[in-house]
Structure 1
Amino acid sequence: GLIYAKLVEVSKTDAKLFKKQKIETPVLVLAETSTQAILKSIEMEKAANTIEYVNANINTLKYIVIFQFDTAFKVFSDRKYQECIPMLENVVKISQIAGDKEIYMKSKACLSLSYDAIGQKDKAVELYRNLVKEKTTEESIYINLFIANKKEKEIEKATNVLKAGVKNIPSSYTLLGLLTGAYVEAGNIEEADKCIVTLKSIADTISQNKSTILVIIANSLRDANKIDDAIAMYNQSLSIDPSQNEALSTQTNANFGLGALYFNMAVDQLDKAANLPVGEESDKEYNRLMEDSKVKFSQSIPYFEKVLAKKPNDIATLNQLKIIYSRLQMTEKYKEISAKLESLRTK
């Protein structure tokens, strides 16, 4: 085990010396040979009830498993998920024996994401749950399990996942923002407000990504129908980062948030108009609501156009504008957006 581990080490630290050895066996095979020999040594010592080689065995395993993880992670990063799964499964097993908690958690997280990527959702969710119980600090695990639970309409479980994530990664404003939204959706405004206070305190103590946190807060306020507060928060984000260069995604772009806010207000007016009873007074109110919806749709356009100026192929923004142009009977604009969406679908 030690000899093969040394060969692996030399292959990484002294390429010229390794080449002189004229070893044709792939380094991954050398690493696995070392691992199997060390495992056999551990097994023999356990049977003999001795501890002479314990430290050497464990330290060797730790070295080899780091090499194996680095190799598997490269395959994972190249999105060759099917190929990296058996590699990661092996790393999970060996890192647990070696007592390397960091490699164990990282490899297990990559394994869960790999299963998710190839469509084996059940295996992915099972691993996500285990990782949450083991207090993973990988943000994406909590997000994916939250989405999976929500898809199954297990709302309480979904919320609890986010609560665990916020507890285990206190600095994650993304998870805190999702938890705020979950509380708003459940009508628990009191807890949502507590989350918003925490988000504001995070925003007050950082400079990088401050504008993004303000948008996350604004989105929650918008969804809670606190429109004036939401607009103020979006504008505060824009005052810090006018071009929204810090926005991590469309959903954390203040311009998209403001566009969505006015868009939603326009749709609300349309819904109110559609539910009016028949009558002369209702006709007047109907016309007022319809006109107001047009104004709100018009207000949203410049914000969505600012998003497109930076991300011309953003599907969410293009779809919103397509609806708006249709409602406002802006025929040429509608045709232009429709053609753009069609070209993106056929790529």
Structure 2
Amino acid sequence: MAQNSAVTNAVLYQRQGTLDKARSEIDKAVQNPKTSDKAKTWYTRGEVYDAMAASPIYGKTLAPGEGAKIAFESYQKAIQLDGKDGEYGKLATAKMDNLFGAALNAGVESYNAQKYDDAINSYKMAQQIRPQDTTAYLYAAYAAEAKQDFASAKESYNKLMGINYKSPQMYNRLLQIARQEKDEKAAMDVIQQALKAYPNNKGFMLEELNMLLSAGQGAQAMDKIDKAIAADPTNANLYAVKGSILDQNKQPEQALAAYKKAVEIDPNNFDAQFNLGVYNYNKAADLYTKASRMSLATYQKSGKKMEADGKKYFEVSLPYFEKALQLQPNDRAVISSLQKVYVRLGRNADAERMNAKLEALKK
């Protein structure tokens, strides 16, 4: 009875709200051989530290994450001693669910304090409580990246994939890690995984093709995109990607045909609309540049005609840029391009409108 009194006292002190005294009593109880093998002892210890972690007063007496960690370990021990169907085993199992949020919060607190190891430990505890919840794995990956521990970050991302989690952001993070580690094979592996999950993602398609181009496999890149088009001829994204690759290969006329095909299939394809605008804008700019470099005599002979032709290209570019702006109203590249075209066409009010839009986006 004397030995059990420490557990009883801890329960009473906890109910009274004097958690420091409850902590002192229960810490003695878990060290005493007479009470250390009792599920009630460990469940009570979990409750005391759980309450301390949640208290704005007593929480300050604990290290970041300490309350949630000790509560978790205590509830685990209670379940181990009593089984999930025992009186305290059932109570501990229910309490474990409540600890998930506490563990996450402790991790966030440590992360914000740049205590990344403590944050990762808290997130790992949250993972143990809810193994199928993706949040703790993501946060653990972010914390590992923050401390430049790319191996641990990859481990967390791989665990996410193991529970069938998918997101473009995750694959992009893994791709960035591979590039920071200068591991081109790993980068290509990531892109292959990303394309398996998101086969029509333009960004991932371009990444793969650019890798092939960088590796001197331009023919393979074009062959790959052409095969994809043959298999899915109504996919506007594929034509837009092909146009981008041809642009990078300095084949603007072929790129133009690809972009036109993309717009023909899907008039709302932003990339194709914008790049058609860019193609005609560049044609116009080249003609104006050539005219500006002419001698006076040459300019008087053919410069005006060259500028008139350039103006026509600016006019052709305009509806493409306007459609692109309609599709993505806050795209700075589109707004800037439109502002320049409006100036060239003497539409000063429209040019000012685009300039004001750009300034508003900077704020």
Tell me the residue number matched to 1:222: 247
Amino acid at match of 1:177: L
Match of 2:73, as an amino acid? Q
* From 304, 316, 330, the counterpart of 2:333: 316
- Aligned counterpart, 2:274: 256
Does the alignment pair 1:304 with 2:321? yes
Alignment correspondent of 2:74: 37
Work out the CA distance in 2 between the residues paired with 1:87 and 1:211. 48
The residue that corresponds to 2:221 in the other structure is 192
Looking at structure 1, the residues matched to 300 and 245 of structure 2 have their Cα atoms a distance apart, in angstroms, of 34
Give the whole-Å Cα distance in 1 for the aligned partners of 2:208 and 2:76: 44
Q: Alignment partner for residue 256 of structure 2, among 222, 231, 250?
A: 231
2:190 is aligned with 1:165: yes
Q: Secondary structure at the match of 1:225?
A: coil
SS of the residue corresponding to residue 337 of structure 1 reads helix
Percentage identity across aligned positions? 18
Cα 1:288–1:171 change in 2 (3 A) is farther
SS in 1 for 2:148: helix
Asked if the contact 1:88–1:108 (Cα under 8 Å) also holds between the matched residues in 2, the reply is no
How far apart in 2 are the matches of 1:313 and 1:289? 33
Within a 5 Å distance, the mapping from 1:1-347 to structure 2 comes to 34-37=71-74, 68=100, 72=104, 82=112, 89-90=120-121, 92-94=123-125, 100=131, 107-113=136-142, 120=146, 123=148, 138-144=167-173, 146=175, 157=183, 160-169=185-194, 170-172=196-198, 173=201, 174-184=203-213, 188-197=217-226, 199-200=228-229, 203=232, 210-242=235-267, 244=268, 252-267=270-285, 273=290, 293-346=310-363
Q: CA offsets per residue over residues 68-95 of structure 1, 9 Å max, x none? A: 389949x99xxxx849988962464237
In the alignment, is the contact (CA less than 8 A) between 2:287 and 2:310 conserved in 1?
A: yes
Distance 1:167 1:341, change over 3 A: closer
Is contact 2:69-2:125 (8 Å) kept? Answer: no
Q: Secondary structure at the match of 1:123?
A: coil
Where structure 2 has 5 or more consecutive residues not aligned to the other structure, the ranges are: 1-37, 44-50, 56-64
Kept after mapping to 2: 8 A contact 1:139/1:165: no
Q: What TM-score comes out, normalization by structure 1 length?
A: 0.57
- What is the TM-score normalised by the length of structure 2? 0.55
Specify the code of the residue in structure 1 equivalent to 2:260. N
Distance 1:282 1:185 in 2: 42
Residue identity in the other structure for 1:312: P
Shift in Å, 1:302: 0.6
Deviations 1:192-214 (A, max 9, x none): 2144245436745xx8xx43344
| One-letter amino acid of the counterpart of residue 175, structure 1 | F
Shift of 1:306: 1.1
TM superposition shift of 1:175: 1.5
- Alpha carbons 1:181, 1:223 under 8 Å: kept: no
Residues of 1 paired with 2:274 and 2:96: CA distance?
A: 48
Deviation at 1:258, TM superposition (A): 1.8
Alignment check: 8 A CA contact 1:89 1:111 kept: yes
SS of 2:330's equivalent?
coil
1:165–1:146 CA distance, 2 compared to 1 (3 A): closer
Stretches of structure 1 that go unaligned for 5 or more consecutive residues are 7-22, 46-50
Kindly provide the CA deviation profile for residues 251-280 of structure 1, in whole angstroms up to 9, marking residues without a partner as x: x54322322333344455567x39979797
When residues 31 and 190 of structure 1 are mapped into structure 2, their CA distance, relative to the original with a 3 A threshold, is: same
SS in 1 for 2:169: helix
Aligned-pair distance for 1:337?
Answer: 1.4
